[in-house]
Amino acid sequence: MNEPVVITEPAAPAAVAAAPRPSLVGLDRDGLAAALRTLDIPEKAVRMRVSQLWNWLYVRGVSDFDDMTSISKDLRARLKESFGVARPEIVAEQASVDGTRKWLIRFAAREPGERPAEVETVYIPEEGRGTLCVSSQVGCTLTCSFCHTGTQKLVRNLTAEEIVAQILVARDRLGDWPGATPPEGAFVPTDGGRFVSNIVMMGMGEPLYNFDNVKTALLIASDGDGLGLSKRRITLSTSGVVPMIERAGAEIGVMLAISLHAVRDELRNELVPLNKHYPIAALMNACRNYPGLSNAKRITFEYVMLKGVNDSLDDARQLVRLLRGIPAKINLIPFNPWPGSKYECSDWETIERFAEAVNKAGYASPIRSPRGRDILAACGQLKSESERLRARERLALAAMIGSDG
Ligand code: SAH
Ligand code: SF4
């Protein structure tokens, strides 16, 4: 493959869609039990029914009640009358030359008259692991100056169902369920592992501004009897919503990533305007107190490399000073350009010098290799339907990133 492939072309969104039946997807065990009780299932059978549904939904990945063959036909029919388990619509699917896949997913209106919501989800296959980058909101209320998503106004928070559905859709499309066949051209894991082995909440939106739904969804994703992703393989990235960081650690318990990007308040106020509410010192304090923090469970600090803005050796030294005493690793992210962005990515030598300085101080400092740039799937490039790129902008982008993808 030399060209990125558009597998499905976007279709125009329906103006007003009817509200679907409530979905069972995204319900935790208590939620499933409550749903079953509305059908007058005998109390002594509820637990068993919950575990059957759990298995069909999250282990087998079925999206039709008729496939739940361990449940009687009669009960299946009653479930079908009241609830749904169908997947959201995949509006567009693109495959990058590097194997990255991006889906534009449309969620039906939740009530009559509401417009459907669209988000992007990205799958990044790597040696030994496959990472799914999941969105938590449609758009984002925070306006980080280097982020494409930040230029799209928030439409709404995603529900737990919609967050979980992104994982289910990815597993469908990758053939990542027991007995399923992977699609042609898929990068099949060579170690016998799952296609989706890791999740990063690094898609569109600020996950800690949608705490309850993100929590429910991630607890479902990490349930050992269900989707089964270890909490160590799930990372929640925040731009620094300080008051929610402790709860994230205590109640969700996944790995934490902080979008730091600057070591001085003056600059961080500009790059990540949320810094005006929660300045660097307060953020570092919250990190120090992150529940479960240890050398085996470090916080990842993300640092986007912006030419002439935050990439000096002095910045690197200050970064090291700032992180003193926090079990940390630093992820350097080459800036991904988007049409209209006012920054440039630092030169490669500058990034390497920065990485070396941080590394010498004892911190792992991997440079994140940009993936899926040709399909605008890299960090900070996501943005959905309402403002999809025009052909002219696509050409401008192609010129910006050259032919290396
Ligand atoms: N809202 C959350 C999670 C989503 S963004 C957060 O900000 O942490 C995921 C990561 O991509 C963040 O570290 C973000 O700062 C970074 N990012 C945003 N725009 C980028 C761009 N154009 N190039 C590189 N990284 C970017
Ligand atoms: Fe929102 Fe994160 Fe983008 Fe900032 S970097 S605008 S918080 S998605």
Same domain, 53 and 202: no
Return the pLDDT at 139.
Answer: 87
Residue 380 CA to ligand 1 centre (angstroms) = 5
Ligand 1 atom closest to 201 (CA): 3
Confidence of residue 18 (pLDDT cuts 50, 70, 90): low
What pTM, to 2 d.p., does this model score?
A: 0.89
Percentages (nearest 5) of helix, strand, coil residues in the chain: 35, 20, 45
User: Is position 273 within any domain?
Assistant: yes
User: Is position 3 within any domain?
Assistant: no
User: Is position 6 within any domain?
Assistant: no
Same domain, 127 and 73: no
138-189, pLDDT tens digit by residue? 989 998 999 987 777 777 899 999 999 999 999 999 988 888 887 676 666 6
Same domain, 218 and 365: yes
CATH code where residue 135 lies: 3.20.20.70
Ligand 2 atom closest to 204 (CA): 8
Asked if residue 146 lies in contact with residue 302, where contact means CB atoms within 8 angstroms, the answer is: no
Asked if residue 196 lies in contact with residue 170, where contact means CB atoms within 8 angstroms, the answer is: yes
Residue 31 CA to ligand 2 centre (angstroms) = 31
Domain that includes residue 72, residue range: 29-82
Kindly tell me the burial class for residue 240, based on how many C-beta atoms sit within 10 Å of its own C-beta (0-12, 13-18, 19 or more).
Answer: buried
Mean pLDDT over each residue of the chain, to the nearest integer:
87
SS3 state at 260: coil
Same domain, 215 and 265: yes
Is the pLDDT at 47 greater than 60? The verdict is yes
Answer yes or no: is the C-beta of 257 below 6 A from any ligand 2 atom: no
Asked if residue 186 lies in contact with residue 195, where contact means CB atoms within 8 angstroms, the answer is: yes
Answer yes or no: is the C-beta of 259 below 6 A from any ligand 1 atom: yes
Residue 38 CA to ligand 2 centre (angstroms) = 40
Answer yes or no: is the C-beta of 239 below 6 A from any ligand 1 atom: yes
Answer yes or no: is the C-beta of 345 below 6 A from any ligand 2 atom: no
Nearest CA to ligand 1 atom 9: 202
User: Is position 15 within any domain?
Assistant: no
- What is the C-alpha to C-alpha distance for residues 267 and 191, in angstroms, rounded to an integer? 44
Tell me the helices (H) and strands (E) count for the chain, helix number first: 11, 12
User: Is position 12 within any domain?
Assistant: no
Assess whether 120 carries a catalytic annotation.
yes
E strand map for 306-358: 328-334
User: Is position 14 within any domain?
Assistant: no
Answer yes or no: is the C-beta of 120 below 6 A from any ligand 2 atom: no
SS3 state at 112: coil
Mean pLDDT of 351-357: 96
Assess whether 379 carries a catalytic annotation.
yes
- What is the C-alpha to C-alpha distance for residues 30 and 149, in angstroms, rounded to an integer? 34
CATH code where residue 35 lies: 1.10.150
Amino acid code (one letter) for 305? M
Same domain, 57 and 140: no
Write the DSSP symbol of residue 2. -
Is the pLDDT at 98 greater than 90? The verdict is no
Task: Please tell me the number of the ligand nearest to residue 383's CA.
Answer: 2
Write the DSSP symbol of residue 314. H
- Structural domains of the chain, count: 2
Same domain, 122 and 228: yes
User: Is position 23 within any domain?
Assistant: no
Same domain, 78 and 199: no
User: Is position 21 within any domain?
Assistant: no
Is the pLDDT at 69 greater than 80? The verdict is yes
Same domain, 64 and 156: no
With pLDDT > 90 as the criterion, what percentage of the chain qualifies? 66
Nearest to 46 by CA among 59, 37, 54, 38: 37
Return the pLDDT at 217.
Answer: 98
Question: Would the CA dihedral through 279, 210, 244, 366 be positive or negative?
Answer: negative
SS3 state at 113: coil
Task: Please tell me the number of the ligand nearest to residue 333's CA.
Answer: 1
Pocket test for ligand 1, best of 157, 254, 376, 379 (most atoms within 8 A of CB): 379
Confidence of residue 259 (pLDDT cuts 50, 70, 90): very high
Mean pLDDT of 216-234: 95
Same domain, 215 and 328: yes
Same domain, 225 and 156: yes
Q: Provide Rg for the chain, Cα atoms.
A: 22
Same domain, 203 and 296: yes
Same domain, 332 and 367: yes
Q: 52 or 2, which is more confident? A: 52
Angle CA 8–13–16, to nearest 5 = 150
Is the pLDDT at 338 greater than 90? The verdict is no
